[in-house]
Amino acid sequence: MHRSAMPNALPETMAAMSLTGHGGVEKLVYRQDVPVPSPGPGEVLVQVTATAKNNTDRKAREGLYPTEDKADVTSFAMGGEATLTFPRIQGADVVGRVAAVGEGVEDSRIGERGLLDFNLYPNARRHLNLTPDYYGHGADGGFAEYVAVPADQFHAVNNPELADAELAALGMCSYQTAYHMLTASEVSAGERVLVTGASGGVGTALIQLCRIIGAVPYAVSTPAKADDLQALGAEAVIDRHDLPTFVERVLEATDGAPVDAVMDLVGGEMTTLFIDTMIQNMARRGTYPRLSIAGASGGNVSEILWTRIYLYQVRISGVSHGTRAEAEQLIGWIREGQLKPVLHGAFRLSALHEAEHYFVNRGSGFLGKIVIVPDSQWETHGAPFALDHKESGS
C-alpha cells in the first residue's frame, strides 16, 4: 500500500525506454505500456523530470565490462550472478518529484524535488559499494516517467536557481565517482592533480571537486575546450595529442613541479605516460605517487612496467562507486551552490537513440552532460536546453 498526492491520481502505465538485450541502440525499445511501479516499504515513487546520460549506460548495453578476460562481451557480475537482466530501464542520475510514498515514509515528502544517490548499496549504512551495482543496471532507473527508489537515497534539493535538467547534470554517477577517486588517493590541499578525459562528466566533476578541497587540477583535453575547463577551475589544460612530448608539456604546465596524483579516465596507451609523469623529480615529491582509475575510454589494456610501480611505490586505486557518506557530502555542496552543473543539452526520452549516436560521435565542442527528459515533461524541463530541433528530437 502506498499514498500519493491525490487518490487514484497515478496512471497505471507509463512511457519508458526498455533495454531488451546486449547490442546496439536497436536494443532500446520505446514503450508506452510499462506498468508504473509501486513504492515498497521505505521507498518513494518519483515522477521523473530529467535523468543524466552516462557512458556506463552505453557500455552496459554493449556488454563492454569484461572482468575476467579482456575479450569478454558481458555485463559485470562481481557480486556473483549478473544483476543486469532484461528488460531493464537504464538511467542512474534521476531528478524528479515524489509522487507517492511507501510504508514508513512521511506523507510530507510528497511533492519534494530531489536527486537520487544511484547506488545499490549493501546493508551497512555507510559501506563502500563494492558490488558494484546501481539503479539503471541491477534495478530499473530513470529513463521512464516514474521510478521507485529508497526514500533515504532520494535527497531533497530545493535550490531555485537550478533547473531540473541542471540538477541531473550534477548526478552521483559522475560526481560520487570523481569524489571517491580523490578520497581513494588521499588527495589533500595544495597537491597537483592530473585529470585525464577532463571534458566529460567525471572529468569536469574532478576539476570542481579539486578546487573545493584545495587541490590544484591540471586537465588533459583539447585546446578547443581549454577556456571552458579553466573557467571551471583547471589550472592549465594540456593537449592530449602529441604523446611523445606529453610528459614535457605536463612539467611545463606545472613549472617543473611533480604531479602528486593522476585521476585516469582514459587507460590504454596514455596510462604509461601518466605513470612516467608521476615519477618525474621523485626526490622533490615527498609523497607517494598515486593513480586512481575509473575509466578506459582509450583502451581496456595498458602496458605498465611493474618495476616502475613497485620501485617508485606507486599506489593504484580502482574506483567505480563511493560511499553513502561521500554522496551525502556532495548533496551538501550542491545545496550550498558550491558545485556548478555542466549541462551540454537535453533530448526527449523517445529520442534516446539519437542521444546515444550524438554522445558517441560528439565533437570537439562537447563538454559536460547530456540529459534525457520524458516526453510528457519536455516543454517544462527539456525544451529550454534542447541542442537544436534535429538533435533534440523535437
Mean pLDDT computed over 344-364 = 91
Residue 105 pLDDT more than 70? Answer: yes
Res 394: pLDDT? 40
Residue 21 pLDDT more than 50? Answer: yes
**DSSP-assigned states of every residue in 143-201:** SBSEEEEEGGGEEE---TTS-HHHHHTT-HHHHHHHHHHHHHTT--TT-EEEESSTTSH
Question: Which pLDDT band holds residue 75 (cuts at 50, 70, 90)?
Answer: low
Residue 97 pLDDT more than 60? Answer: yes
Question: Which pLDDT band holds residue 248 (cuts at 50, 70, 90)?
Answer: confident
Residue 105, φ and ψ in degrees, nearest 5: -110, 135
CB–CB of 250/276 below 8 Å?
Answer: no
Residue 127 pLDDT more than 50? Answer: yes
Q: How far apart are CA 67 and CA 344, in angstroms?
A: 32
All cell numbers assigned to 104? 514508513
Q: How far apart are CA 16 and CA 29, in angstroms?
A: 8
Q: How far apart are CA 37 and CA 237, in angstroms?
A: 46
Strand order in 13-19's β-sheet? 28-35, 13-19, 88-89
Res 393: pLDDT? 42
Helix residue ranges per DSSP H, 214-314: 226-232, 246-253, 269-278, 306-311
Mean pLDDT computed over 60-64 = 85
Mean pLDDT computed over 77-97 = 85
Mean pLDDT computed over 71-83 = 59
- For the beta carbon of residue 124, count every other beta carbon within 10 angstroms: 9
Which of these, 62, 64, 63, 71, lies nearest to 24 by C-alpha position?
62
All cell numbers assigned to 239? 593537449
Res 392: pLDDT? 40
Which of these, 383, 394, 373, 379, lies nearest to 47 by C-alpha position?
373
